[in-house]
Amino acid sequence: MTHRVVLYAEGAGERRGTLSMLPAPGEALPEEALGAGHILVRRALERACGVPPAATRFEAPLRLRGRMASGSDLHDGISLRKLLTWFNRSQQPHLAVVLVDADGDSQRKRRLEAYVATLPCAKVIAVAVQEFEAWLLADVKAIQATLGSHRPFVGPAEKLAPRVAKDELNAWIAASPSAAEQGGDPSDLRRAIAGRCDLDVLTRECPAFADFVSDLRSC
Amino acid sequence: MIRSAKITNFRCLRDVEVTFEPLTVLVGPNASGKTTLLQALTPDASWGPSETWQKRGERPVEIALSIDGRGLVALPSGGLQYRVMRLDLEALRRPNQVHVAHELSADGANLTSAFATLPRTSQAEVARQLCGLVPVFSDVDAPPFSSGHLRLRFRDRWAPSVDYSPNDVSDGTMLVMALLVLQHQKTPVDVLAIEEPERGLHPWLLGEVIKVLRAMTKGEGVPRKMQIILATHSAELLEFVEPHEVRFFGRDTTDGSVRVQEAPTRTPEWCAAFDEYRRSLGEAWLSGGLGGVPGA
């Protein structure tokens, strides 16, 4: 059975693949349109719920006045409720995932969950601490294998201050010979890291990711 | 009134059924089939093989309308007065040779003549309405401009000695002028289709224009009721119509044929979902959840 999933994420780094014009909401996203966030969500779904990766169909998300929702849109209760409201039950996905950064706000997850609690769709609010890049940084071996470069260990991924994980991943990618080979577009490298990282390591290093997997299981 | 149209094998309209209201609004991205639908409704047109689905010519074009009082009517057929207006902003501004024009032409090029041909009371009514909608003017008329020609003249509200030619006024003013003149056609049509009526109009003015058009559908201010179909890209325009009046056009991603959707207003979840959007139809449309957006 196909598992229809919509992912809302804060930035292009999580949600954007190499396709410039996305399909309309409700249409399937082709593989090349998937970002690192999609790849991790798909793997987490397999781990938590046993959904085979091939059965996960990511669909284009709803928009806000024609533009892709990002950043502060996902922190705003009114906007978030719109994004999780489908006019037609047949169009409603099996699961909507909202992936945001904590950015030092320890109450963010609780608050966002409260905003959308009464909506009928199945949804999971995932809050990366402090940002999504921490999840990509968690498995150093996977990064080294993907990027072909080494950098000094900066500390446990979720213990890093806001923006440090983002900057560190960017620096790592910039120093990678693979980045130059792929025309400098980091999307593919981020996707590759998301596809290669060891989920056991990620779960151990990032309690927020472990929470996300747990939420998927109970959703 | 056309209740519905079933169109088969006509250009991108491979197999489409559309229902209509007294006022119907077609929305969708560029090249989503809105104009093609308006052409398909032309009652007396016949279409050859080059107008068939993907120009295959394998099956003929079939267009059937369900019309009040006439039942199911296969086109081409006479008897239905139908007109598509594609008002051309340049053409609307042209001076016209003096001649009687009881109908505004499809591109509006004879606007000056059509206005000048109206009875004085109708001219006064158009001027009153225009000055209400575009309150920088206090009057409009169509005096002789050069030998044998007339040109519209707009009077400044605050400086009665100052007049403006059509080239001096905004696109929106010219468009509103044309839409107002349409109310006074000597031979009103049964169905009037207007493409992109929102061009150049301030969003506040859109609501007033929709009021005028809606009144025409009720027979108010016109000799008889007129069905109106609008084709638009304007989310603002949607704020002034009802969800059940809108048809959302898009393309099927598998073969490129046109799909027409209606807002699911009869479903149990509609009201709650629409409330989330603060009952803003324009915003609901731009979410992509109703269809009628690029990539559909």
Indicate if the pLDDT at residue A183 is higher than 70. no
For residue B2, list its beta bridge partners: B67
Least confident piece of the model among A31-35, A198-202, B177-181, B260-264: A31-35
Indicate if the pLDDT at residue A92 is higher than 60. yes
Under the banding of pLDDT at 50, 70 and 90, the label for residue A19 is low
B135-150 pLDDT tens trace: 999 999 999 988 899 9
Indicate if the pLDDT at residue A20 is higher than 70. no
Q: What pLDDT does residue B222 have?
A: 85
A130-148 pLDDT tens trace: 999 999 999 999 999 998 8
Q: What pLDDT does residue B296 have?
A: 56
Under the banding of pLDDT at 50, 70 and 90, the label for residue A149 is confident
Closest chain B residue to A64 measured between Cα atoms?
Answer: B287
Contact (CB<8Å) B287/A120? no
A153-168 pLDDT tens trace: 888 899 999 999 999 9
3-class secondary structure, B2: strand
Q: Looking at beta carbons, which residues of chain A come within 8 Å of B235?
A: 65-66
Indicate if the pLDDT at residue A178 is higher than 70. yes
Average pLDDT taken over every residue of chain B:
94
Under the banding of pLDDT at 50, 70 and 90, the label for residue B286 is very high
Order of all β-strands in the sheet with B71-74: B13-19, B2-10, B62-67, B71-74
Q: To 5 degrees, how large is the angle CA A68–CA A158–CA A206?
A: 85
Q: Looking at beta carbons, which residues of chain B come within 8 Å of A23?
A: 253, 295
Q: Looking at beta carbons, which residues of chain A come within 8 Å of B291?
A: 24
For residue A3, list its beta bridge partners: A56
Average pLDDT over residues B160-178: 96
Instruction: Look up tokens 């949600």; give the residue.
Output: A15
Q: How far is A144 from chain B (nearest CA, A)?
A: 38
Q: Best interface-test mutation with B: which of A87, A88, A91, A92 has the largest number of B CBs within 10 A?
A: A87
Q: What pLDDT does residue A22 have?
A: 77
A201-214 pLDDT tens trace: 999 999 999 999 99
Q: What pLDDT does residue B64 have?
A: 96
Distances (CA, A) of B153 to A58, B14, B142: 58, 47, 6
Closest chain A residue to B251 measured between Cα atoms?
Answer: A24
Q: To 5 degrees, how large is the angle CA A149–CA A154–CA A155?
A: 130
Count of beta carbons in the 10 Å neighbourhood of residue A214: 14
> What is the 8-class DSSP label of residue A90?
G
Q: What pLDDT does residue A13 have?
A: 73
Q: How far is A215 from chain B (nearest CA, A)?
A: 25
Q: What pLDDT does residue B93 have?
A: 96
Contact (CB<8Å) B277/A85? yes
Least confident piece of the model among A63-72, B19-28, B243-252: A63-72
Q: How far is CA B158 from the centre of its chain?
A: 33
Q: Looking at beta carbons, which residues of chain B come within 8 Å of A91?
A: 289
Q: What pLDDT does residue A193 have?
A: 95
Closest chain A residue to B290 measured between Cα atoms?
Answer: A87
Residue A60 near chain B (CB below 8 Å): yes
Q: What are phi and psi of B53, to 5 degrees?
A: -50, 120
Indicate the helix (H) or strand (E) that contains A5: strand A3-9
d(CA B126, CA B129): 5
Average pLDDT taken over every residue of chain A:
92
Least confident piece of the model among A141-150, A196-205, B235-244: A141-150
Closest chain B residue to A118 measured between Cα atoms?
Answer: B272
Q: What pLDDT does residue A11 have?
A: 82
Contact (CB<8Å) B295/A22? yes
Under the banding of pLDDT at 50, 70 and 90, the label for residue B247 is very high
Q: What pLDDT does residue A152 have?
A: 85
Strand pairing category for B246-251 and B258-262 = antiparallel
Contact (CB<8Å) A24/B277? no
Q: How far is A214 from chain B (nearest CA, A)?
A: 29
| B 129-188: CB under 8 A from A | none
Contact (CB<8Å) B295/A23? yes
Q: What pLDDT does residue B288 have?
A: 96
Q: What pLDDT does residue B146 have?
A: 83
Contact (CB<8Å) B273/A87? yes
Contact (CB<8Å) B289/A81? no
Residue A24 near chain B (CB below 8 Å): yes
Largest CA distance in chain A: 51
Indicate if the pLDDT at residue B226 is higher than 70. yes
d(CA B286, CA B288): 5
User: Strands, DSSP E only, in chain B?
Assistant: 2-10, 13-19, 23-27, 62-67, 71-74, 82-85, 96-97, 137-141, 144-146, 149-150, 153-156, 163-164, 191-195, 227-232, 246-251, 258-262
Tell me if B294 sits within 8 A of B29, measured CB to CB.
yes
Q: Looking at beta carbons, which residues of chain A come within 8 Å of B284?
A: 87
> What is the 8-class DSSP label of residue B186?
S
CA-nearest of A192, A175, A193 to A184 is A175
Residue B264 near chain A (CB below 8 Å): yes
Residue A195 near chain B (CB below 8 Å): no
ipTM of the complex: 0.92
For residue A123, list its beta bridge partners: A96
